[in-house]
Structures are given as structure tokens and as C-alpha cells.
Amino acid sequence: MVTIGDVAKAAGVSRSTASYALSGKRAISDEVRLRVEDAVKNLGYTPNAGARALATSQTMVLALLAQFLPDEFAPAMLQYIMGVSDTARELGYDILLVTDEEQTKAIERITRSRMVDGVVMLNVAETDERLPLLRAARQPAALVGLPHDCTGVDVFDLDFEEAGRMMVEHLHRLGHRELILISQPEHVLERGGAYVWRLQDAAVEQARVRGIVLHTAFGSAQQPEIGQEINDLLDAHPAATGLLINNEAAVAALPSVLHERGLTSPEDLSVIGRYSAEFARTFSLPFSFVEGAPDRLGRMAVRQLVKRIESTSAAKEPHVVRLLSPEIADRGSTGAPPADRHRRR
């Protein structure tokens, strides 16, 4: 096994100098640091995690609080997890994935025992019972999702209000005057998933301002229920010429529904969703969408967290709340409303 002594010998420096060059604890010349880094690469040296923790008081582990809930579409959650885990790995940190149902107890366990250097939290509720524990912990925390009270944590999310307004405005400019919005399951809203009502309320208000009739509905998170619900909505509102979707399961089911009904987009029905480009590729979706940017949000959260962990000055900086401005990826699924609004089964 390669040791720090082997690295020091290969670089022509003392063990302490090699250690300082790797930890950054003391200023080392660029020439010496590069020699040490080359020795590490050539020898395949991996620092011992236990020794590193003793030397730096860091575990080099981040906790990721995430849950796969039955009323949410699991592939969409994986997009956030990948963004967090990939960035943590790039920065030299491992991930401890915490999926316990009793997440408050898990937070107490991992923060009090100092198992991790920081915490990233997903599935954020508007009033989240986990937040007081994170604020009280010695480790910093970053959230992907916007709670009502952002005190004491860094927060990153999509600007869902602007996304809702943008989706309605996009179809209004094309001449649509009656639309359907399919949101996440109602249970998501009931347990505090504020992003659902943030997008929906903004869309409803924008539709009111523009004189558009907007029918809203909550959709299921799995087949075959969501497919039947889409059919029922199209039957119930035959004059609607556009479909807005804030529900990944619904947009994944939509191509089959349109095919069965003999409809095409945008000739018969304009469609615009809210999800990620990776999600679109995974399910071969042909629809235009507002980029949800789960990977980017995960990267932003981890980088901010690591910045606070590794910099004493950064640890004292005010906490940030950053909302990404939504952008529409045009896949050609929206156009002027059809003259014949008849819906065929």
C-alpha cells in the first residue's frame, strides 16, 4: 500500500511538506505542490480516510437526505440525486444517502455523531420539520427546494412562479385561449410540496390576466391511472387547445395517449411541460419544456456546502437563496391553435 512517506520520497520533500501540499493547511510553493500532485498520480496514492479525519476534523462525507415517495415519480428524483452525488465525488467527498422514513431521528444521529461534514436535503416541504434540527447542527446544510423559512440554510430551487407564468404566456402568444394544466398528485401539495402550488397559482393568475380559460387538475404518479386521467381531461374539455404539464408521470404517458386518440402535437394539441433535458432523453419525449435543471441545482447546493465546510470565512457569510430563472427548450410541440378543435378518441 502506498503511503504518504512514499509520496514524499518520490516528490523529494519531507512527509510534513507532502501532507501540507495535499491538505492545503499551509502555504506551499506551486513548484513543490505540483511535484507532490504528480507523485500522488504516478503512485496511485489514496489518503486514508480515518487519518485524514483525525488530521483535519473532517470526514469528507456529505449526508444526502432523500426519499422515494409513492406519490412522486422516482426517475425524476434520481436526477437530483445524480447531480448531488456526481459533484460531491468531483470535489473529493463521499455521499451518505439517508432515506429513513424517520428523517428527524436520522438527522440527529448523523449530525451529533459527526458522521458527516454537511447535509444536502431534498423533498423540501414548505414547513419542514427537519429544518430546526439542521439549523441547530454544527454542520452546514444546503436545500434543493424552497421552504417558507430559509433562515440558517442555503437554498437553491427553480423559480416555479416564473415557470408557470412563462408556460401560459408562451401559449397565449401563439393564440391559445383555453388550456389544461396537469400538476403533481394532490398528496404532494398536502404534505407541503410548495413547488406545485407555486407553479399552478402563477399560471392561474397569468391566465386570468390574459383572459385565458385554464382548467387545473392533479394527476397520479403512475400508470395506468395517469393515462386514463389525461383521457378524461381531454374528453371533459374538448375546446382546450393546449396542455401544460407539471407532472413527470403525465408527460411520460402522454405520447401513448395522443397516439391512441389519433392526435399529434402541435397540429391537434400544443404541449409544454416542466422537466429536465435528461428526463426528456430518457423517455424520448418530443415535447417542448421548461428546464427543471435538477442536476444544476444539485451541483449548486453541493458547491455552496463544500465552500462553507472548507473556508472559515465562507462559513460566516450570510446564507443564500437562489432561484434559477426558467428557460424553455423548444421541441416544436407548440403552435397556433387548430381551427377544428374537435377531440377524437
Considering the domain architecture, whether residues 268 and 154 belong to the same structural domain is answered as no
**141 alpha carbon, distance to own chain's centre:** 15
Considering the domain architecture, whether residues 281 and 302 belong to the same structural domain is answered as no
User: Each residue of 302-320: pLDDT tens digit?
Assistant: 999 999 998 889 889 999 9
Considering the domain architecture, whether residues 266 and 180 belong to the same structural domain is answered as yes
Considering the domain architecture, whether residues 101 and 248 belong to the same structural domain is answered as no
Considering the domain architecture, whether residues 139 and 257 belong to the same structural domain is answered as no
pLDDT over 90 (residue 151): yes
pLDDT at site 190 = 84
Considering the domain architecture, whether residues 137 and 190 belong to the same structural domain is answered as no
pLDDT over 70 (residue 52): no
Considering the domain architecture, whether residues 299 and 286 belong to the same structural domain is answered as no
Supply the mean pLDDT for the chain.
90
Considering the domain architecture, whether residues 236 and 282 belong to the same structural domain is answered as yes
Q: What is the largest CA-CA distance in the chain?
A: 81
Q: What CATH number has the domain bearing residue 211?
A: 3.40.50.2300
In a domain, 332, yes or no: no
In a domain, 331, yes or no: no
Contact 156, 297 (CB under 8 A): yes
In a domain, 138, yes or no: yes
What domain range is 28 assigned to?
A: 4-47
CA distance 343 to 345: 7
Global pTM reads 0.81
pLDDT at site 67 = 83
Q: How confident is the model at residue 273 (pLDDT cuts 50, 70, 90)?
A: very high
Considering the domain architecture, whether residues 126 and 218 belong to the same structural domain is answered as no
User: Each residue of 194-242: pLDDT tens digit?
Assistant: 999 999 999 999 999 999 999 999 999 888 999 999 999 999 999 999 9
Q: How many domains does the chain divide into?
A: 3
And the C-alpha cell for 314? 465562507
Considering the domain architecture, whether residues 242 and 278 belong to the same structural domain is answered as yes
Residue closest to 301 by CA, chosen among 164, 134, 184: 134
pLDDT at site 33 = 83
pLDDT at site 25 = 57
In a domain, 54, yes or no: no
% of the chain beyond a pLDDT of 90: 68
pLDDT over 50 (residue 345): no
- Which residues are registered as beta bridge partners of 215? 180
User: Each residue of 175-190: pLDDT tens digit?
Assistant: 999 999 999 999 888 8
Considering the domain architecture, whether residues 245 and 188 belong to the same structural domain is answered as yes
Considering the domain architecture, whether residues 173 and 197 belong to the same structural domain is answered as yes
pLDDT over 60 (residue 53): no
Contact 126, 195 (CB under 8 A): no
pLDDT at site 301 = 97
